[in-house]
Chains A and B, each alone.
Chain A
Amino acid sequence: MSQENLQRAFYAVLGLLTLGALGLSLFAAGAVGLAFGLFAVMTLGGGLICIWERSVVRSAFALMSTFTGVAGLFVLLESDFLAMAQLLIYVGGILALILFGVMLTPPDMEERRLSRVLPGLALVGAGVTWVSMQVAATANWAVRSAPLDGKADGAISSAERIGVGFLAADQYVVAFELAAIVLTVALVAAVYIARRKRADLEPEPTGGGN
């Protein structure tokens, strides 16, 4: 099968799977189910396209769909602050970093080989099905269906609770400060590592260059 036909077949199957998943979730749980199905399809479809596509740039943009879908799932899980942070940091920051990496390194078009991708996908599909069946059959968690914040806690939003948790002395303030230190050290180190050494830039190194 030629490359274009293969590509067409992949996207046709993906579209059919999308329609099936949306219909199934709409049938199972109504409007909330439709939203969940949409975000789940965005998440998993983005991941599938990321694995399938041969061009790194297309994979990176497919990853944007994945991150946005995860943000939508966070909204459905009543974590609005996390959804916002996901959009800001993943879609705005990490994806831009990955695209910088793509642009600063050579393209590699002969990367994907079907003989490697398809068995991996089959194995993952089987594994996920098995895990899901195990979860459905055996797990017995104490599930609470009432919303976590807002109505139950006197109209305090999730963002406010997380902010208070960061700064209250008896909650997460130590982890907050540690995260600040880690970020500072990591970003300064990244700048230092990524900087080209002076010896690489000068045409004739005259000694003393770093």
Chain B
Amino acid sequence: MGLGAYIAVSAALFGLGIVAIITRRNVIYILMGIEMILNAANINFVAFNRFGDNGLDGRMFAVFTIILAAAEAAVALAIVLNVFYLFNSIKPSEADLLRE
């Protein structure tokens, strides 16, 4: 399979992540959408690294993306828990303390 097939899969996964973020009003779904988008970016990094001529850079980028995704998931879930304690809801539209 060539480079184009991987790019197509990555683009479709990116789009699905965007749909998950836009259509849901639940923070958990937004987190899932972000994970899908990060995975799409990782596929692109590794595919370009495999088919291009640039040493190891793409894979290193993918490794650091995975590391940052782990840190992001932990911090985001801690924030979600706190938002739930504060507002009794995990809809992002209801966390509007600064508006008042």
Contacts and interface: CB of A to CB of B under 8 A. Distances in A.
Given A60-B32, A183-B67, A47 B16 contact: yes
Contact of A136 (B4, B29, B64, B79): B4
A47 B17 contact: yes
A76 interface: yes
B60 A172 contact: yes
Secondary structure type dominating chain A contacts = helix
A121 B19 contact: yes
Contacts of A190: 74-75, 77-78
Contacts of B1: 25, 29, 32-33, 36, 76
A179 B67 contact: yes
Interface string A109-132: 001110011001100110110011
Q: Which of B50, B64, B85 has the most CB of A within 10 A?
A: B50
Given A89-B70, A108-B26, A193-B81, 17 more contacts: A25-B1, A40-B9, A43-B9, A48-B16, A73-B6, A79-B59, A98-B31, A105-B90, A111-B24, A112-B24, A120-B19, A132-B4, A139-B4, A193-B75, A193-B79, A194-B77, A196-B85
21 contacts: A29-B1, A67-B39, A73-B43, A77-B49, A82-B42, A82-B66, A85-B63, A93-B70, A101-B28, A101-B31, A102-B28, A105-B80, A120-B18, A128-B12, A128-B15, A131-B7, A132-B8, A165-B60, A183-B70, A186-B72, A193-B81
